Amino acid sequence: MSTIDTQQSIVDEVIPDQKQRISVSDYSGPAIVFALFIGSWYLLSGVILPPHKRFLLPTPHEVINEGFLVWRTGESRGFQPILMSLWDSAKVAIMGLAITIVVGMVLAVIMSMSRWLERATWPYLVAVQSAPVLALTPLIRALIDGAQKQRVLVVVLIAVFPIVSNTLFGLLSAEKSQHELFTLQGASRWTRLTKLQFPAALPNIFVGLRISAGLAVIGAVVGDFYFRQGGVVGIGAQIDVYRNRLWGAELITAIIMASVLGLVVFLFFGWLSRAAIGKWHITTRGQ
């Protein structure tokens, strides 16, 4: 056997082992962390907390039995009201995120075309990102009628900054030599934007989308707390009801489902990122 054949056989033996180790570690790590989390939960709810406070933090099996396995008991207890509220919040988050993507990208494109516009707009974006929603509640109520529109506006205010900042950074990240090449070819501003800047900005755009997707769910839940009229709508409003009534199992179930919604949206944009930019960028290598 030649030296080349020997080296190739060694590579063929090593690479599957590496792939197998990577696959095992991908699943073993989250499993270990989950086991530690459940163990800590049992320790806190069954040992550390005094007996008269343990109803505030039920054990995991109590949450499963009373929160997930009970379909409906009474007006707002059971898993069905939680799912209905979660769906209402999901619609608000999706609508707000869609508006955020359009507004954020358009604003980033405008800012990338003029240094003066970027400097003039940036402080106000930072101010919107930093302003507490609770302080803006009276103003939002005065300007907009309807709880649905108010909640969507909260989502936009909370989620717009990552879209603008990451998209703007990506649009400005194209190499100077590439810009010079487009200038030599007499390319128009639109051609430069669509053929050079936007493709270069795609990885950063998807980073902003993943961040804003999680923030959109947070914004929907926050909007449920501050902008609700009439009956209970939205998972945030449901959480507030359970908190006031001290229904620990239902409260934790609603919180878990809200977190699952944020995780699903985050993973969706992660998959969309890998599908859009493939394997050519460092953010998707090895996945």
What's the confidence (pLDDT) of residue 7? 43
Please tell me the distance from the alpha carbon of residue 47 to that of residue 59, in angstroms, as a whole number: 11
For the entire predicted model, the pTM comes to 0.80
First to last CA, the chain: 35
What's the confidence (pLDDT) of residue 13? 46
Q: Are residues 191 and 135 in the same domain?
A: yes
Is position 25 within any domain? yes
Is position 260 within any domain? yes
What's the confidence (pLDDT) of residue 93? 93
What's the confidence (pLDDT) of residue 22? 52
Give me the CATH number covering residue 233: 1.10.3720.10
Q: Are residues 51 and 110 in the same domain?
A: no
Is position 30 within any domain? yes
Please tell me the distance from the alpha carbon of residue 267 to that of residue 62, in angstroms, as a whole number: 29
Q: Are residues 46 and 101 in the same domain?
A: no
Is position 61 within any domain? no
What's the confidence (pLDDT) of residue 282? 52
Please tell me the distance from the alpha carbon of residue 173 to that of residue 204, in angstroms, as a whole number: 10
Q: pLDDT means per 10 residues in the chain (287 residues)?
A: 46 44 68 90 86 83 87 78 90 93 92 86 86 81 84 91 92 81 80 83 89 91 79 81 86 91 89 75 49
Is position 63 within any domain? no
Q: Which domain holds residue 32?
A: 3-56
**Residues 229/147, Cβ–Cβ less than 8 Å:** yes
What's the confidence (pLDDT) of residue 11? 41
Q: Are residues 129 and 178 in the same domain?
A: yes
Q: Are residues 149 and 99 in the same domain?
A: yes
Quote the Cα angle for 208-88-73, to 5°: 135
Q: Are residues 38 and 144 in the same domain?
A: no
Q: Are residues 110 and 41 in the same domain?
A: no
Q: Are residues 52 and 174 in the same domain?
A: no
Q: Are residues 122 and 44 in the same domain?
A: no
